[in-house]
Amino acid sequence: METKTMNIKVEKAKTSKIDQVDFENLSFGTVFTDHMLICRYKKGSWKVPEIIPYQPLTLDPSAKIFHYGQSIFEGMKAYKDDNDDVWLFRPLDNCRRLNISAKRMAIPELPEEYFMDGLIALLKLEKDWIPKTPGSSLYIRPFIFASGTGFHASPADEYTFIIAFAPSGAYFSGKVKVLIEEKYSRSANGGVGFAKAGGNYAGQFYPTQLAIEKGYNQVIWTDDNTHEFIEEAGAMNIFVRINDTLITAPTSDRILDGITRKSILDIAKDEGITVEVRKITVSEIVEAAKDGSLKEMFGAGTAAVISPIAAFGFRDVDYDLPQLSHSYASLLKKRITDIQYNRAEDKFGWRFKV
């Protein structure tokens, strides 16, 4: 994979924070590296990106991000192998999805070389920040928001693109207990559920908090119309194993086209696992739990890769899932992470060396 080389200006931080970081005990997304990439859209075009010291932003109170919510983001990771080589996982998919989100939110699309060249330049500068503790990685957050000003309800005329890094440990530990949601909806037909728009996640927080108060860790979202079909698990795509068949919902206006989701489908097929991409009813899940054919449920996303579900609740009844010695979740997670950390052959061409 080749990208056009851009002349990116670099302003280095006067001092580094890296010596203050305990890389053996990293929480997720709370420690940030010394630098960030910033690129501005003004007068109808994206300007050349710059790398500057990580710092707060100054925005006008009338910046449209505060009023009309034009904000999108991506989530990625960089990995370091035993030889200290740095790897990305399907980065062009993230770039393309960022622009899919941009188009839906009336944000100018970002040229691919701005994304890739800017990311690579920043990674080369911050290489020492990539942790090597098992399960750890450098979390990458590219995002775009409306920085243009004015109270008029219309798209902004200026935008800011930033890439920031956060060395992080494992996102989740252990299994989770989820509640199937029947009142609130994550997204609707014709909406922005397929985009990684900030407002999608803001809207999840309240119903998720209600579930937490009931003793659950997360919510399983159902369709907005009948609440008959399960669609996502919190901020992750969801997979269900009934007997030996792995099932996930098809993407739509409401469901994010997850990169981890796509990878799981390809690896499962490569493993000879029967895969179905179809609608999954809540009643099917409940009946499968009752008759013992429901073997596994798990969420899939960049941060956690795969997060096994230990139990789910529906209409005041909890259903426990069996403890399996050879689960699809563990098999698939190992296959993906072995590719990401350059521990195994990458027959799919997903790995990108920085």
Average pLDDT estimate for 182-195: 94
CA angle 338, 340, 341 (to 5 degrees): 70
DSSP run (H or E) holding 146: strand 137-146
The Cα 273–Cα 258 span in angstroms is 20
If you average pLDDT over residues 235-248, what whole number do you get?
97
Query: Cβ neighbours of residue 226 under 8 Å, at least 6 residues apart?
Result: none
On the question of pLDDT at 2 being above 70, the answer is no
In the chain, % of residues over pLDDT 70: 98
> How confident is residue 7, by pLDDT bands cut at 50, 70 and 90?
confident
Residue 173 has pLDDT above 90, yes or no: no
Residue 3: which pLDDT band, with cuts at 50, 70 and 90? Answer: very low
132-170: pLDDT as tens digits: 988 899 999 999 999 999 999 999 999 999 999 999 987
> Using one digit for the tens of pLDDT, what is the confidence trace for 270-302?
999 999 999 999 999 999 999 999 999 999 999
- Count of residues for the chain? 354
Is the Cβ–Cβ distance between 214 and 220 less than 8 Å?
no
pLDDT number for residue 80: 96
Q: What is the pLDDT of residues 48-80, one digit of tens each?
A: 999 999 999 999 999 999 999 999 999 999 999
Nearest Cα to 13, choosing from 44, 54, 45, 74? Answer: 54
Question: Would the pLDDT of 172 be above 70?
Answer: no
Mean pLDDT of 248-254: 94
pLDDT of residue 332: 98
Spatial CB neighbours of 210, under 8 Å, sequence gap ≥ 6: none
Mean pLDDT of the chain: 95
Domains of the chain are 9-168 (3.30.470.10), 176-340 (3.20.10.10)
Question: Which band of pLDDT confidence, cut at 50, 70 and 90, is reported for residue 103?
Answer: very high
**pLDDT at residue 174 tops 70:** no
